[in-house]
Copies of this chain bind each other. A is one copy, B any other.
Amino acid sequence: MSGSAAKKLSFKQQQLQFRENAILDVVNRLLAKKGFDLMTMDEVAAEVGIAKASLYKHFESKEVLSAASMTRLMEQTIAVASSLPASLCALDKLKSIVRWAIQTHLGGTMPLLPSTRSSIQQALLTYPPYIEKLSALTEQLGGWIGEAQEHGTLSNTLPGEVILYTIFARSCDPVADFLKMGGAFSDAEIVELLIRTCFDGMTG
């Protein structure tokens, strides 16, 4: 009896989780496509197929909704980082992360809003779950960066801070969009071109 009740509750919770995941999928795509400021709650509700008021039953504001989407994305990135083969050297791990990010970005499901100008930026900083994941990822990447610098595969005269920010920024580089718009390269080619210019520059 109690087992059945527990199962029923769990099922309801699963349903809820499933619905909210579907919402976040839409938000992720819309954030990637239009950014926070241009995305409207009407639009989100319409694409999910529910009324706007229902949307607000799940997420109390546009800021929280977007922050939740960004947090889930952060979790996915951490998962990718964790699942990398241990046999890879630190530099290749870093390249793999950037490669995955650019691929996802080109696929249209990676919200790129590290633009300091988006009004969500401050909301993110006051959303603990996001900060937590961001810190975890930063620590992971920071370790690899230090490792690569010790091995001499990344310049050790370059501040680790600069390398870290550069990796984050290249993950949502507008160059990818422009090259895709140009139509001269396949997605795979664009990814490799960006990886190359990011790590090896344009002189070599």
Contact = CB atoms under 8 A, between A and B. Distances in A.
Interface of A: 33-35, 37-38, 91, 112, 114-119, 153-155, 158-159, 161-163, 165-166, 168-169, 173-175, 177-179, 181-182, 184-185, 193, 196-204
A196 B158 CA distance: 9
Contacts of A162: 175, 179, 193, 197
Q: How many copies of this chain? A: 2
Contact of A37 (B37, B91, B182, B185): B37
Nearest to A178: B165
B159 A34 contact: no
29 contacts: A33-B117, A35-B115, A35-B117, A38-B119, A115-B115, A115-B174, A116-B177, A116-B178, A153-B203, A155-B202, A155-B204, A158-B193, A158-B196, A158-B197, A159-B184, A159-B185, A162-B179, A165-B175, A166-B197, A169-B175, A169-B178, A197-B201, A198-B202, A199-B201, A200-B201, A200-B203, A201-B201, A201-B204, A204-B204
A177 B169 CA distance: 11
A111 to B, nearest CB: 10
B159 A166 contact: no
Nearest to A172: B174
A158 B199 contact: no
B38 A174 contact: no
A117 B34 CA distance: 5
A203 B155 contact: yes
